[in-house]
């Protein structure tokens, strides 16, 4: 049932360094425990600089979680922005990309999934696959991202383990291969049997789950004596699995057709250690990346040992409120990164000296002198970089565009203080460049009032909060009449504008969005003009 990581090449080579990288995201429905699991993985890796993990809603005396650094995140207890966390464990360099769980921030998660080699899919043991989990799973499957599935909250009442397997098969059409198996029913969870070693890992609770849970490792005979009933039930279930279950299929796992399954409880620290070990053992290291030509058509792959190339997958301003800076997150796809190197931005053709390059750990960062495929570099002050940009050295490269979702909610945004127009304009430009919201304009109507667009209403809350606190610009929002949008081509704009209940808005990068007052208006236009472009997916 085990799979070893690929054998490294010669020590110190780019291939060897890439082989010990694991770059992954955690995806889940809100409240499934994603941020808690992130914090506990850091705890078990020894990456917190102390013996205690933080809490999403920290009580007095408890530290806050590392990945939620915005004040808005701390107040609401939800993640609204993705975070990069770089740490080492067992000789492996991890780049963990914590993603927002709420559906209103799905676009941020889409950008993150373009930069990872694997993902941990977190599922609530009682609720199973929820809508947002399903949506993110479909994106991961389309990208063939290998998935490790962690069935969380197993110390509470929920589905029994065999039910979990049936549930995943029926809802996701996905083969789930358990690499450990729970002992004790949901709500009376005692530990897990490691299917590779047949050893029972019995956990002991710690106060508030703040420290590593003590583990007693027992062989079969000792485990049966310690808890004959729960152990016997677990063994019977495993015998059923063994009768029909094949060996762990590494090829199916890496291709996204099967998932490695684990049981545990992040809040109690049960099963977190085995998950971290599995990320070292079976999560794939970085591989050569596909390239495209100027038209977006496939154009071979960029080998790991080729000269440096990287993908900008996220831009974030004001992570450090003392300096009001701007940081672009670059996934290294090939070659060796060295601080100060001068690279070319494929989109603009301009060169950039990456002198202010950092490794990132939540809000904290430190100078990064070198990096390898799989690493994430935080480039500070790069005003010219946008989400989706490809950076290259010596040999030109172009990676596929990062998709974004067609917005479903629209608001007119007005400046609340005419004396602060520059701050208002700069704030909107920054939020648009980061992808917090789409900022659109009605060029044909000569209307100067910008339109904010997003896939969820919480995006507007974040935009207003950041405009006020980071750019000192008061804004007023007013509901706009549109409910659905599609990307269209410039030559199709006159046809769209002729339709009753339709309009065309333009993004700063020139993208045209056809917006409609209802699905009926869109369907009528599609019926009457099947020749025009009305695409659900945008790109950045």
Q: What is the pLDDT of residues 398-430, one digit of tens each?
A: 999 888 878 899 999 999 888 999 999 999 998
* Model confidence at 68: pLDDT above 50: no
The whole-model pTM stands at 0.85
Which residue intervals of 45-159 are DSSP H helices?
71-76, 106-113, 131-142
Closest CA to 482 of 496, 471, 472: 496
* Model confidence at 122: pLDDT above 70: yes
Find the mean pLDDT for residues 91-95.
Answer: 95
- Which of 323 and 7 is assigned the larger pLDDT? 323
Non-local CB neighbours of 472 within 8 Å, separated by 6+ positions: 420, 423
Per-residue pLDDT, 247: 73
Find the mean pLDDT for residues 506-521.
Answer: 93
Coil, strand or helix at 163: helix
Instruction: State the pLDDT confidence band at 6, using cuts at 50, 70 and 90.
Output: very low
Coil, strand or helix at 335: coil
* Model confidence at 60: pLDDT above 50: no
Instruction: State the pLDDT confidence band at 65, using cuts at 50, 70 and 90.
Output: low
Q: Per residue in 444-483, pLDDT tens?
A: 666 689 999 998 888 899 899 989 988 899 999 999 999 9
CB 36 within 8 A of CB 56: yes
**Element housing 468 (H / E):** helix 458-470
Query: Whose structure tokens read 């360094």?
Result: 17
Instruction: State the pLDDT confidence band at 31, using cuts at 50, 70 and 90.
Output: confident
Per-residue pLDDT, 346: 96
Per-residue pLDDT, 290: 95
Cα 364 to Cα 349: distance, rounded to the nearest angstrom: 31
Q: Per residue in 158-209, pLDDT tens?
A: 999 999 999 999 999 988 999 999 998 888 888 999 998 888 888 888 777 7
Beta-strand (E) ranges in 408-520?
409-415, 438-442, 447-454, 475-479, 484-488, 502-507, 512-516
Total residue length of the chain:
540
Find the mean pLDDT for residues 65-69.
Answer: 48
Instruction: State the pLDDT confidence band at 62, using cuts at 50, 70 and 90.
Output: very low
Cα 487 to Cα 478: distance, rounded to the nearest angstrom: 23
CB 37 within 8 A of CB 120: yes
Per-residue pLDDT, 221: 77
- Could you tell me which residues are annotated as the binding site? 28-35, 98-102, 152-155
Find the mean pLDDT for residues 6-30.
Answer: 79
CA distances in angstroms from 189 to 226, 273, 289, 319, listed in the order given? 14, 16, 42, 40
Query: Whose structure tokens read 């914090």?
Result: 39
Beta-strand (E) ranges in 90-246?
92-98, 118-124, 147-152, 175-178, 180-183, 191-194, 199-203, 215-218
Per-residue pLDDT, 276: 95
Query: Whose structure tokens read 């969380």?
Result: 152
Coil, strand or helix at 539: strand
Q: Which two tokens stand for residue 440?
A: 């659109």
CB 332 within 8 A of CB 14: no
- Domains detected in the chain: 14-281 (3.40.50.300), 289-392 (3.40.50.300), 406-539 (3.30.70.3280)
Instruction: State the pLDDT confidence band at 153, using cuts at 50, 70 and 90.
Output: very high
- Could you tell me which residues are annotated as the binding site for GTP? 28-35, 98-102, 152-155
Per-residue pLDDT, 323: 54
Q: Per residue in 238-284, pLDDT tens?
A: 888 888 776 788 889 998 889 999 999 999 999 999 999 999 999 99
Per-residue pLDDT, 3: 43
Non-local CB neighbours of 116 within 8 Å, separated by 6+ positions: 23, 24, 25, 97, 145
């Amino acid at each position: 049932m085990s799979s070893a990581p690929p054998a490294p090449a010669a020590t110190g080579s780019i291939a060897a360094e890439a082989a010990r990288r694991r770059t992954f995201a955690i995806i889940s429905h809100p409240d499934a425990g994603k941020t808690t699991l992130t914090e506990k993985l850091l705890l078990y890796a020894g990456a917190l600089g102390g013996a205690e993990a933080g809490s999403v809603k920290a009580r007095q005396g408890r530290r806050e979680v590392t990945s939620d650094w915005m004040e808005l995140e701390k107040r609401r207890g939800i993640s609204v922005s993705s975070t990069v966390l770089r740490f080492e464990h067992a000789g492996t360099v991890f780049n963990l990309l914590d993603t927002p769980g709420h559906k209103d921030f799905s676009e941020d998660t889409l950008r993150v999934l373009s930069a990872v080699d694997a993902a941990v899919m977190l599922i609530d043991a009682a609720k199973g696959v929820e809508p947002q989990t399903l949506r993110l799973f479909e994106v991961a499957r389309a990208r063939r991202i290998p998935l490790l599935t962690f069935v969380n909250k197993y110390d509470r009442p929920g589905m029994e383990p065999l039910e979990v397997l049936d549930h995943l098969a029926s809802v996701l059409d996905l083969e789930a291969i358990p690499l450990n198996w729970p002992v004790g029913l949901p709500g009376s969870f005692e530990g897990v049997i490691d299917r590779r070693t047949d050893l029972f890992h019995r956990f002991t609770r710690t106060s508030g789950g703040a420290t590593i849970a003590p583990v007693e490792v027992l062989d079969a005979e000792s485990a049966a004596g310690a808890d004959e009933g729960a152990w016997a039930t677990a063994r019977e279930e495993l015998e059923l699995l063994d009768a029909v279950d094949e060996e762990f299929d590494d090829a199916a796992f890496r291709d996204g057709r099967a998932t490695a399954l684990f049981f545990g409880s992040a809040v109690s620290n049960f099963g977190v250690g085995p998950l971290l070990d599995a990320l070292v053992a079976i999560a794939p290291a970085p591989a050569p990346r596909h390239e495209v030509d100027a038209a977006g058509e496939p154009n071979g792959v960029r080998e790991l040992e080729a000269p440096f190339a990287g993908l900008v997958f996220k831009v974030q301003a004001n992570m450090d409120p003392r300096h009001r800076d701007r940081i672009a997150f670059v996934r290294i796809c090939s070659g060796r990164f060295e601080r100060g190197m001068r690279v070319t931005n494929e989109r603009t053709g301009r060169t950039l000296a990456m002198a202010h390059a950092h490794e990132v750990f939540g809000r904290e960062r430190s100078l990064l002198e070198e990096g390898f495929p799989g690493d994430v570099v935080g480039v500070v002050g790069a005003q010219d970089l946008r989400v989706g940009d490809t950076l290259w050295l010596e040999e030109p490269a172009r990676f596929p565009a990062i998709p974004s979702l067609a917005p479903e909610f629209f608001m007119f945004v007005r400046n609340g203080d005419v004396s602060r127009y520059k701050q208002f304009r700069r704030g909107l430009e920054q939020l648009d460049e980061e992808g917090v919201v789409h900022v659109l304009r009605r060029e044909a109507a000569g209307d100067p009032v910008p339109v904010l667009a997003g896939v969820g209403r919480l995006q507007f809350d974040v935009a207003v909060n950041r405009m006020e606190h980071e750019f000192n610009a008061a804004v007023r929002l007013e509901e706009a009449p549109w409910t659905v949008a599609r990307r269209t081509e410039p030559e199709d704009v006159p046809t769209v504008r002729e339709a009753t209940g339709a309009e065309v808005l333009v993004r700063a990068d020139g993208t045209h969005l056809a917006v409609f007052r209802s699905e009926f208006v869109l369907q009528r236009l599609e019926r009457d003009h099947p020749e025009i472009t009305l695409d659900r997916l945008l790109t950045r």
